[in-house]
Structure 1
């Protein structure tokens, strides 16, 4: 599918996966607008424009979409990447307010963007929406319960929405990467009601997360998959790059007890507990 004269909007594009996606789309021929809460920031090697956007605010979302329609007259591709995590912690170490905050960005932020963009895509009779999920959206990680829950929600919403919009010329995909070597940890929120009983477990899980990220592929692997999904004649609903693809097969075909044991061994949960 040609990218000539196509307009793309990428949220959370100031660094990491979002920046790599925006750069990849721009290189492929899209006219790309990235967003972040701070807007432009350091330009560096970017070949795309940055706009200020807070996905937790209806007015901010509507203003950016309205601005883009005024500038370009259309939006052909929306990539919902904005989000953050909670540092490894017991599920009970986050308050209800913190749980609501992470859902407000990771899930409802995506919903706000889609609600604002879809009417324009529907009038065009075409459009692509790609939501960035995670491997923990189909294989949940212990001590990342809230983050896993938001990514499960992203996956379910994306799959349902694709069925709804397909007959209107709009396709929806979710990309579910594994560990990616980005500053994920720096953007993670610390639990706001920590309990001493989890202190050693938290430290062990934080180190395991650091090790996993340090040895992971860079964000370009996600950017490549997003471009593939955006330009495919018949896009898939789910894309799982790298190790995530193998984990998805395991989730589907491996016995539950074997997968359970594998998760605990990989994360060293029983060793941490001792």
Structure 2
């Protein structure tokens, strides 16, 4: 069956940003198919749900093929599925854990994109929106793996947009800051914890809980997704929320040392100057 209504596919739509995005697109007139590993669930929704595990080639191909059989086309893909690692030192996550987060946050995005792009090419048009993060351009300490996946999303998206724009397909990245979702409840704890980082982990946990209490609602991100999806001349990057916009400006125009100190201060970790002073004191003690 073919339809004149624009068809959207939103991954990770069972809750949070994905659910808010699917609802916003449906309200705007899109026929929306959301996905989750569990597929259709109880409860009234303004969109249909498909079963899709972004870490499985077979699952991705099956879901996209099902959608094409139902609708004949895909006009908009929103790659949202992902998870995070709870605050911890970079060395506190094993290689296996690093692979796991990349498997979902980055390779999962690639799987779905590769399954959808051939259909968009045949249509001669389409739009792909990848949910990134401010951590994709401004990494925070004790979040190295998550920041690395979002940096990968930024690079992949920009390169892909160059490749596909002459075929009628545009790619954009949506960059939210802190957002009120169940995302933090599903954090994967570091699997190789070291006592060296115990105090910093506890501090970051406390700070992030306080920050999340005043974080943006997922609808803020959903509104930006709709804006990017419907833009006649889409931009490569869209920040979502006031904080994200300020951080993007700071990253672009402020001196690196000032941004570095600001990031550490906002997390209660002390400034670069204090860290350098502590290092000099240690060196002095060793040589005295």
Task: Give the secondary structure class of the aligned counterpart of 1:9.
Answer: strand
Q: What is the CA distance between 1:208 and its match in structure 2?
A: 1.0
Note the 1:74-89 alignment, pairs <5 A.
Answer: 74-89=73-88
Structure 1 CA distance for aligned equivalents of residues 61 and 117 of structure 2: 12
Q: How does 1:204-243 map to 2 (within 5 A)?
A: 204-242=203-241, 243=243
Q: 1:150 maps to which residue?
A: 149
Post-superposition shift, 1:147? 0.2
In the TM superposition, what whole-angstrom CA distance separates every residue of 1:38-70 from its partner, at most 9, and x where no partner exists?
1112324x2000111100000000000000000
Cα distance in 1 for partners of 2:98, 2:85 equals: 9
The structural deviation recorded for 1:241 is: 1.5
SS at match of 2:176: coil
**SS of residue in 1 equivalent to 2:146:** helix
Q: Distance in 2 between matches of 1:50 and 1:209?
A: 31
Distance of 2:87 and 2:40 partners within structure 1: 31
Q: Which moved more, 1:133-142 or 1:208-217?
A: 208-217
Query: Following the alignment from structure 2 to structure 1, what is the Cα–Cα distance between the partners of residues 165 and 206?
Result: 43
Could you list the structure 1 runs, at least 4 aligned residues long, displaced by more than 4 angstroms after superposition.
none
3-state DSSP of counterpart to 2:32: strand
Q: Select the structure of larger CA radius of gyration.
A: 2
The structure-2 alpha-carbon separation of the partners of 1:38 and 1:169, relative to structure 1 and needing over 3 Å to count, comes to same
Give, in angstroms, the shift of residue 270 of structure 1. 2.8
C-alpha displacement at 1:224, in angstroms? 0.1
User: 2:169 — aligned with what?
Assistant: 170
Counterparts of 1:115 and 1:138 in 2: how far apart (Å)? 24
SS at match of 1:171: strand
| Partner Cα distance (2:76, 2:258) in 1 | 40
TM-score normalised by L of structure 1: 0.96
TM-score by length of 2: 0.92
2-structure distance, mates of 1:264, 1:105: 28
The reply to whether residue 14 of structure 1 matches residue 40 of structure 2 is no
What are structure 1's unaligned runs of at least 5 residues?
A: none
Distance 1:40 1:213 in 2: 29
Q: CA RMSD in A?
A: 1.4
| 1:205-227 CA-partner distances (Å, limit 9, x unpaired) | 01111111111110000000000
Partner of 1:264: 264
Aligned to 2:35: 35
Q: Where does 1:63-102 land on structure 2 (aligned, <5 Å)?
A: 63-102=62-101
Q: The residue matched to 2:240 in structure 1 has which SS? A: coil
Deviations 1:96-132 (A, max 9, x none): 0000000000000000001000000000000000000
